[in-house]
Amino acid sequence: MDVEVKVIEGGVRKYQNKSLVQKLRNQYFKLKVSGNPQNLFVEKSVQFLRHPKNIHLSDNIIIKEGAKLCPTNSDSVIKIGENTTIGYYSMLFSSFRIEIGADCMISPFAYLVDANHGIIKDKLINQQKLEAKPIRIHDDVWVGTGVKILAGAEIGRGAVISANAVVSGEIPENAIVVGNPGRVMSYRTEK
């Protein structure tokens, strides 16, 4: 069976809203974070929660509608590299450190969380300490829709994490990852 394929140039950056309201929203969020990101584009209903000054944004970042970025304590950090897009309704919750490299695409409904609650039997879950491990996503990574990236994950440069995969360990460069738990299915090729 032949499937018709259409290649579309430009993508999300080509069709950004350039209204006055959008420009004011971009300026408002630029003032909330650390540094001085140029060409920051933040859509409606985005929230920078708890400690927004611990969010470090590089230039040319797009954060789509409904995304939430939350450094949960005064020492936690979220750092995003240049030319990266955070998709619709994605959530980044950092108790320690989440780093996303340059030129990455985080698809809609991705969930990144760098901590887990303790699970000792004779103590209430909500009274147990968190164990946090950093998440690191290297440059040129594509995180598919609905992906969960958990504490301690390190995703190598050029990797592709397929829709709904769950990643908690180390992913090699250019790997294509599927499933729960995430496992390497293949690698990106020249063609």
The residues carrying an active-site annotation are 117
Closest CA to 96 of 47, 62, 51: 51
CB 135 within 8 A of CB 167: no
Phi–psi pair at 29, nearest 5 degrees: -70, -30
End-to-end CA separation in angstroms for the chain: 21
Give the pair of three-digit tokens for residue 25.
């929203």
Closest CA to 130 of 189, 177, 76: 76
Residue with tokens 């920051």: 40
* Residue 8 CB neighbour total at 10 angstroms: 6
Give the pair of three-digit tokens for residue 40.
């920051």
